[in-house]
Amino acid sequence: MTSRPAPHVAMRAIVPGHIAIVMDGNGRWARRRAQPRSFGHRAGQKAVRATVAWCLRNGVGVLTLFAFSSENWKRPSTEVGALMDLFLKALDKEIDELHKNQVRVRFIGELSAFSEAIRTRMQHAAIRTASNARLTLNVCVNYGGRWDAAQAARRAAEAVARGELDAAMIDEQTLAPYFCLADVPAPDLFIRTGGEHRVSNFLLWQLAYTELYFTNTLWPDVDDAELDRALDDYARRERRFGCAPTAARGG
């Protein structure tokens, strides 16, 4: 018997509960100012602050930011070093304010690659803010969508080996809990700044039915007006999840 989705599944989007952002364009922003790329990364921190404040004001419940991909280690060591330094400083600088605003902060990715100092700071930030409930901020670092799929498959295989999961029962529902961000709804809106129209190994599994929004604005230039434009665009979308369009329903 084929199961048909309930007719209410297709719906007009309003405020996205979960926004995922590829924060791209820091390097170009710096180059336009004849500055090193690290200058752009530092400037990008201001846009992160503005975006968190905007999410709090607009009632967005989950914000997932792509801060460092599993491929970004391929960059020159000076840039990677500057980024690590920035993460450390940002963790110290921002955490009080985030906690005050009831933001729960988590770090998503293969964290073992980071220095002890960074890992400790990440862990402290996550523990300190764990019971905050106004906004969940997922910071993806050394994250890759393919890494996520591999770690999900590995953990599922381990559950099979322990006799907790029947391999024959593995399907989308039983595999889903092993992916990162399984405890929050899938992103409703994906935003990529910086003009590139690609996902760059971000949340490959989780973006299956996410609405995509691309802007040429470079990440450090992102402000309320830019985010409002993304929200307006999203509000005009009809999310169908494979259903027939609303106008065609019943025809």
Which are the catalytic amino acids? Answer: 24, 72
Q: Which is nearer to Mg ion, 38 or 129 (CB)?
A: 38
Q: How many chain residues bind ligand IPE (CB under 6 A)?
A: 18
The two structure tokens encoding residue 63: 């914000």
Radius of gyration, alpha carbons of the chain: 19
Q: Is 220 in the site for ligand IPE (CB under 6 A)?
A: no
By a kind-dependent CB cut-off of 5 to 8 A, residue 108 interacts, out of Mg ion, ligand IPE, none, with: none
Report the residue number, 72 or 132, with the smaller CB distance to Mg ion: 72
Is residue 206 a contact partner of residue 232, using CB atoms and an 8 Å limit? no
Measured distance CA(182)–CA(192) in Å, rounded: 22
Among 16, 19, 20, 26, binds ligand IPE (CB under 6 A): 26
Is the separation of the CB atoms in 19 and 249 below 8 Å? no
SS3 196: coil
Strand 189-192 and strand 135-143: the pairing is unpaired
Give the contact letters, 27-66, x = binds to ligand IPE (CB under 6 A), - = no: xx--------x----------------------------x
Q: Which residues bind ligand IPE (CB under 6 A)?
A: 22-28, 37, 66-69, 72, 83, 194, 196, 198, 200
